[in-house]
Structure formats: C-alpha cells, structure tokens
Amino acid sequence: MQALVIAAHGSHLNPDASDPTYAHADTIRETGAFDEVREAFWKEEPHFREVVRTLEADEVFVVPLFISEGYFTEEVIPRELRLDDWDPEKWDSDGTSASQATLEADDVGKTIHYCGPVGTHDAMTDVIVQRAETATGDPAVGEGVGLAVVGHGTERNENSAKAIEYHSERIRERGRFDEVKALFMDEEPEVDDVTDFFESDDIVVVPLFIADGYHTQEDIPEDMGLTEDYRLGWDVPAEVDGHRIWYTGAVGTEDLMADVVLERAADAGADIGDARETVRDIAGSVADADHEPSAGTGAGD
Amino acid sequence: MTIATADLEPLLDRASAGVTFDGLRIDEEDGNYVLETPADEWHDLDETALREALETCEEYVTNWRYWQETVGGEGTARRAFLRWCEHAPIPDAGEHTTTTDGLAVPARYDALREGIDRRWGQLSITARFVDVDDPDGERVYDLWHVDDADSDLADLEVYDDPRDAREIATYDEDGRYRPLKTAPTLVSGWAFTGLSGAELVETVGFLYPATIANWHRELRGNLDVDHWTETAERQTGIYDVIDELPREAVDWMAEACCVDSQCLRRREWGYDEDDDLDVDGGDGPFPCREPCSLVVAAARKWAILESEEEHTYELELTTSELNQLEELIDAVAEGRTDEIREADVYDGANRYRARYLRAKRVGEDGLEATQVDE
C-alpha cells in the first residue's frame, strides 16, 4: 500500500487557505493512484504532527505544497513529522533542485519519502504557462505578450527568489512569450513598477503563491495599480500606464497543480500508473470549460 | 434459511488452517473438523458435515465474513473503531475497554437489527444491518449531529460522500470559520446515511481529524503524549518564545482553551511528565496528546504579554462599575454577548451599558487610569 500526504500551511483565520490543498488532493483521489490521500497542515487539522498515524499504508509520500525550499520545508515539516534523521543535506539541493529523501517516521515505523516542494519542480513551469492561458482565456497566449512571474522575494530566505527566477528562465528559453520577467514584492525588480519592465502592450502577471490571500488578492493588485481598493475588485485585463495587465490570482489554485504533486511523488518512487494522464485530462477539461477570465475579488488574511 | 455461498466458501477455504473469531472456532483434527460456538460443539466433521453444521450457525458465519473479509485491517484503528461502534470486543484494547463493550455475536445481531447508537464528540453514529429482515452480516453506518438524534431524516440535508463533511466542519452556525475541528460548535441539520465502514472512518476523519488514530493508541496503551515543555521547546521561528510562558500561565491557558466548553478533546498532556496542570482535562472520548497549533499560536501572544511588568494603577470606579467590568469580561469569555437582549440594561454586558461606561470612563487617551508605582 502507498499513501500520499499533501503538506500545506493552512490558516487559523482564513477558511479559503486550504481550498487548493483539498482541490488537488481530490483530483488525485479521482485517479486512484494512491490507496490513501491525506491533506495535512501547519495551522489546520490533521496537523503535520498527527497525519502519518491516520494512514494504514507502510509507504508514505509527503509532498509539501510550498513554493520554495526554506524554513517550512527544511525545518518545520520534517520536525513535526518526526523524521529524526532528517538533515537538509539529504536533499543535496542548490536551492531549487531538491527531489526527495527516504526516512523513517519515529512514531509509526513507516517509510516516509519526503519530497521537495511543488514550487521548484520542473512541471511547475507548465502550470505557470497554463495560468497565463486561463487568465487570458487564450490557449495559445504568448506572441506579442509579456509574462511576469511574481514572488515574495528574499524577506525570509534566498531560495524564494531562486524558484521564481528558475521558472522565469525556463519559460524564457521556450520563446513562447515575447518577454519574461521575474518580479518581487519586497526586492528589486519590484512588481509595483511592472509596466516599466515590459515593452509589450499585454502583460500577464502570474503570482507564484500557493493560495490566494492577503498578498495575491490585496497587496499585489493595489501595488500594480489594478485597483484603488482591493475590495472593489479589478478588471481582467486592467489598463495601467498604457498596458493591459492580465491578473487573476495565485498559481497554486490552478488545476494542473495536482500534476506537479503527482510528479513529485513519482520522482520519489511512487507507482502512479497513468494517473498523470487522468489529471491532465481533468485539468485540461476544467481549463476549457472555464476559460472566461473573471475579475478578482478580495479574500483572506 | 441457508447461508449464501459467498459467505460460506471463504470460511471453508480457511477451515483447514483453523479459524478462531468472535466465539466461532473451527479446527482440523486428524483430517476431520471441530466446530465450536459458545452455544454448541461438533466433533469429527467431514467437509460435508462441517458445511451442514455451519448452516446452523449463520450469525457466526456472516459475522466472520463481515469482519475478516469486508472490513479486514487486523490491528488498524479503522477496524477497532468499527468494532467499538457495535460494542464488539476489541482484541488489543487492554484495560481501557468499558463494561458496555464486548457483546457476543447473538446479542450484537439482535442490537444491529434495531441499530446501535454511539456518541463521538458531537456525532451520533448508528451501526445497523443493510438488510434488517434477512441480515447477511453486512453493516452500514449512519452519522449525524447528536442534536438531530430525534429529527426526521426528511428534515436533514442528507449526504453520502465523506468529502462533504469538510464543508460541514468549516463553519459554525453563525457562519464563522472553525479553525479548531474539535470545538463543540459543529453545526447540526445534516446526515450521512448508509456509509460503508471505510466511508464512516473517512467522514469522521474530516469532522474530527486524527481522533480515531489517537483513541486507538490510547486503547492499546501506547498514546504518545507530548507535554507542554516538550512542545514548547521544540518550536522555532516566531513560536520560539513560547517556552518562556510562566508555569502558572500554562494553567490559565489550559483553563481558557482546553476545557470541555471549548474543545471536545480530553487533555492528556500536562506541564511536563511529572507535573500535571490544575485544570480538569475534560471528559471527551478521544484524547488530546499535545498542545495544538491554536494553543501554540495563542501561547506566543501570552508569552509576549506575560513578559510585561505589572504596575499599580489608580482609577475611579463605583462598586457597580467595578462589578460591571467583571460582567463584561465574563460575557466575552463565555461567548454570550450575542444573547444579551437589546434593552436588557440590567445586564452589565449589555451594549448600552458598555457604551455608557465608555462614555463616562474612557477618554480620548483611553481609560482614565494613573500609574501610581514607579
């Protein structure tokens, strides 16, 4: 038997914070690839501390639903899961290259494959591109369009910026968009000046965040000048300094994220059969059916 | 009445290896079989005779099939919980089994025809046969809020997908977010009916995460309790400070957060292994094995607040105003401010009474109090 645990932050204050976690877990449940699929949280229940004991499988794949390698993925999650032999060195990562480490959970005697975060997986690049497609409602979006990938920045750790730059570079190499830029909330180049960095009239802005909340639904739309007050919402696209800005919200809510979770587990040795095709079918059909861009609304803490 | 082939064949397949389960015993001795139930005993049976004899103990046969073939999962929390649901003996339960548990098969079958009700926090769980008139041993489970125990099913929102429980568990009756799933604020008005055992466990897992796993550990005597000091010292980042919370403040914190009126988990952790807290841990069926993330987050606030020095202040109040402060604190702490009627000016926590006190005693710079110590 094999089980999948999706480890996310969650919130004590905002009931929507866990929505993407549940949605991606449900998509993977539909594939039947794992005998058990469980959501686990730092701020909700089941807590990281108690999730593994709820599983019957002996082999458990833990995939952190986090953007970058850092405090949560390297310190908090392994500690709370009781992975006593954990050491960040086991990932042997340059900041974006963690794949997995195989460990024993002390309280349950199960084998835990502790995977790198979803945010740094190569498949995440596709999710960012898909978000650009769903934001514009154009499955071929790219020509004549600039893409800004937005991240938090270095406030807590340098790997946060590395993940943003990593995917921006990969998308740039594909040559699909006229311009690709990595922008940040709290360091240069800043998202506030988004229009300064692009010549293209149309700019798609994709925030590399897991869940919608304060940053993606309040800070960023106001900082970019999409709206005076996030509570009033904004247009997609919105006119700013002669550019049209296509902005919806956190990339982590994109349906294709379930595919990244699956890939992380597969890289760690999970037998997922043809689950990826199923997920891509589900995500693709949702993207087709739901291509009308909608104005953002405020939410969360 | 004959037993369905599907019930009998798997049992016969295992007969030669020996079967001992819930009072049913089959053993092979010198090429023949011995069959035993608490009521009867047969010896020297060949396979045909064994088959005939088993026909007379249908309840034991279908009970074996349900538990060994349908439920399976020997030693798992899921199996133990489903056995608890129908007062069946739980083999590895140790001293924690209550006197109501351990019903023998005929008594359980009688009860399952009517439905066996058990309570888990604010949940009422009914175990019953799928087919009451001709039970083939297959059980299903109904689940609803204890407050709806006497409600007509037609008046309730009926669900059958365990995942629907997540939405039910997310908001209280006023539409406020419930970050603590074991808070006694689960909304009523819904029911899950005809769940399989696995679906019941999954549904309870969404309503009260990890409670079954920890209950099972406690039942087997291996609940791993992390006391306050262990949890506090483990924290890093913004929660690094919580191990500075004074000893007495941990008592106040438990009194504030970890009593039955606030959380249905029964607190098993103390200050440390040899130092229990003064506050009662509660009476819930499922244990709390360490301070939860809400307690940790609140402890951070209290650790910071408790680092402040105390001072003596002088402020002018009438005796009634002093009493009113107590009433205000009490009303907020008990969450009863919404219940105080608009015009009930006799209640110190009435809105007009509070506004009057503010108008009289709270100036532009706040409460008119003077620090009198240096």
- Give the model's confidence band at A245: pLDDT under 50 very low, under 70 low, under 90 confident, else very high: very high
Q: Looking at the predicted structure, is the pLDDT value of residue B93 above 90?
A: no
Interface contact B233, partner A, CB < 8 A: no
Pseudo-torsion of CA B350, B355, B361, B365, nearest 10°? 130
CA distance B23 to chain A (A): 27
- Give the model's confidence band at A199: pLDDT under 50 very low, under 70 low, under 90 confident, else very high: very high
Contacts of B297 in chain A (CB under 8 A): 12, 43
Which of A22, A51, A75 has the CB atom closest to B166's CB atom? A22
Which of A12, A49, A75 has the CB atom closest to B297's CB atom? A12
Contacts of A45 in chain B (CB under 8 A): 180-182, 209-210, 292
Q: What is the pLDDT of residue B134?
A: 82
Interface contact B166, partner A, CB < 8 A: yes
Assess: ipTM above 0.95: no
Q: Where are the domains of chain A?
A: 2-120+254-289, 123-253
Global confidence as pTM = 0.93
Pseudo-torsion of CA A205, A211, A217, A222, nearest 10°? -50
3-state SS of A74-111?
Answer: HHHHHHHCCCCCCCHHHHCCCCCCCCEEEEEECCCCEE
Q: Looking at the predicted structure, is the pLDDT value of residue B94 above 80?
A: no
Residues 6+ apart with CB under 8 A from B352: B345
Q: Which helix (H) or strand (E) holds B165?
A: helix B164-170
What domains can be seen in chain B, in order of their start residue?
A: 5-64 (no CATH), 74-219 (3.30.1360.190), 228-306 (3.30.70.2320), 313-371 (no CATH)
Q: Which helix (H) or strand (E) holds A279?
A: helix A275-289
Residues A300 and A213 sit within 8 Å (Cβ to Cβ) = yes
**Average pLDDT over every residue of B208-230:** 96
Contacts of B292 in chain A (CB under 8 A): 45, 47
The nearest alpha carbon in chain A to B73 belongs to A56
Q: Looking at the predicted structure, is the pLDDT value of residue B97 above 70?
A: no
Calpha distance A37→A29 (Å, rounded) = 6
CB-based contact B170 A15, cutoff 8 Å: yes
- Give the model's confidence band at A160: pLDDT under 50 very low, under 70 low, under 90 confident, else very high: confident
Cα A69 versus chain centre, distance: 12
Q: Which of A225, A250, A227 is nearest to A150 (CA)?
A: A250
Instruction: Tell me the CA distances in angstroms from B314 to B129, B355, B364, B371, one per residue in order.
Output: 70, 22, 18, 6
Q: What is the pLDDT of residue A286?
A: 54
The nearest alpha carbon in chain B to A14 belongs to B177
Within 10 Å of residue B105's Cβ, how many Cβ atoms?
Answer: 22
Q: A63-119: per-residue pLDDT in tens?
A: 999 999 999 999 999 999 999 999 999 999 999 999 999 998 878 889 999 999 999
Question: What tokens does B196 get?
Answer: 């399989």
Calpha distance B363→B234 (Å, rounded) = 44
- Lowest mean per-residue pLDDT among A147-161, B325-339, B341-355: A147-161
The nearest alpha carbon in chain B to A53 belongs to B213
Interface contact B184, partner A, CB < 8 A: no
Q: A123-253 in CATH: which number?
A: 3.40.50.1400
Note whether A2-120+254-289 and A123-253 share their fold: yes
CB-based contact A56 B205, cutoff 8 Å: no
The alpha-helical segments, DSSP class H, found in A55-192 are 77-80, 123-136, 158-174
Q: What is the β-pairing status of strands A243-247 and A202-207?
A: parallel
Say which CATH topology domain A2-120+254-289 has.
Answer: Rossmann fold (3.40.50)
Contacts of A50 in chain B (CB under 8 A): 209-210, 213-214, 289
* Strand partners of residue B288: B267
Q: Which of B334, B200, B157 is nearest to B256 (CA)?
A: B334
CB-based contact A53 B210, cutoff 8 Å: yes
**Average pLDDT over every residue of B276-303:** 96
